[in-house]
């Protein structure tokens, strides 16, 4: 594994944080405006907001471990937010359009709430898709230990496989200890 965090991983982590910030913003909008039906501060809205805040905190922990090169954190983000989270972001608008509603009519009847929510949701979705793409770039794969050494990278001396002990790059002892 490379010792230095690649810029793709840093950028992915930043985009995940943007997605979390958008989620917090959307949650705040629902709590303040009461969602589409305008019901403010019902128990369901407050409980849903609190649950989302717990999820956002857990995602923050995953992002921190992502930056440390933990492959399990990358997969938790990819499956949890990349697959299921993205579905939760787009299923409502898809169902709404499938029910025969007009996008032009929706734009014509935009309120402060719906405009802010739609803009945030678009940015949220774009951040998730960008973060996903960056997490699986070649440099990120190498950082997470997913890249295999090719025969070109192997030293010419040593065993028949071309690899000898001690030829692989090693992380400093402090970094190895912190990853244990």
Q: Is residue 163 part of a domain?
A: no
Q: How many domains does the chain contain in total?
A: 1
In percent, how much of the chain has pLDDT > 90? 49
Of 103 and 128, the structure prediction assigns the larger pLDDT to 128
* Within-domain flag for 112: yes
Give a yes or no: residue 166 inside a domain.
no
The range of the structural domain enclosing residue 100 comes to 7-148+171-179
pTM above 0.85, yes or no: no
The model's pLDDT over 26-63, given as tens digits with 9 standing for 90+, comes to: 988 888 887 666 566 677 878 888 898 999 999 999 99
In a domain, 137, yes or no: yes
Q: Decide if 126 is inside a domain.
A: yes
The per-residue pLDDT of the chain, averaged, comes to: 81
Residue 157 lies inside a defined structural domain of this protein: no
Task: Kindly report the length of the chain.
Answer: 180
158 Cβ contact partners less than 8 Å away, ≥ 6 residues apart: 164, 167
Instruction: Tell me if 34 is assigned to some domain.
Output: yes
**CA distance readout (Å), 67 to 7, 114, 165, 167:** 10, 34, 28, 25
Tell me whether residue 154 is in a domain.
no
Q: Would you say residue 155 has pLDDT above 60? A: no
Place 92 in a pLDDT band, splitting at 50, 70 and 90: confident
């Amino acid at each position: 594994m490379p010792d230095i965090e690649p810029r793709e991983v840093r950028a992915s982590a930043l985009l995940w944080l943007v997605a979390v910030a958008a989620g917090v913003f959307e949650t705040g909008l629902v709590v303040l405006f009461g969602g589409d039906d305008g019901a403010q501060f019902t128990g369901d809205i407050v409980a849903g907001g609190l649950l989302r805040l717990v999820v956002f905190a857990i995602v923050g922990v995953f992002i921190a471990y992502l930056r440390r090169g933990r492959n399990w954190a990358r997969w938790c983000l990819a499956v949890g937010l990349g697959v299921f989270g993205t579905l939760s972001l787009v299923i409502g608008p898809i169902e709404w359009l499938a029910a025969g509603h007009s996008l032009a009519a929706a734009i014509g009847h935009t309120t402060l709430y719906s405009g802010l929510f739609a803009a945030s949701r678009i940015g949220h979705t774009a951040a998730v898709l960008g973060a996903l793409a960056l997490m699986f770039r070649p440099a990120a794969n190498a950082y997470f230990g997913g890249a295999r050494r090719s025969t070109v990278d192997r030293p010419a001396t040593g065993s028949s496989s071309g690899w000898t002990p001690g030829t692989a790059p090693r992380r400093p002892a402090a970094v190895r200890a912190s990853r244990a």
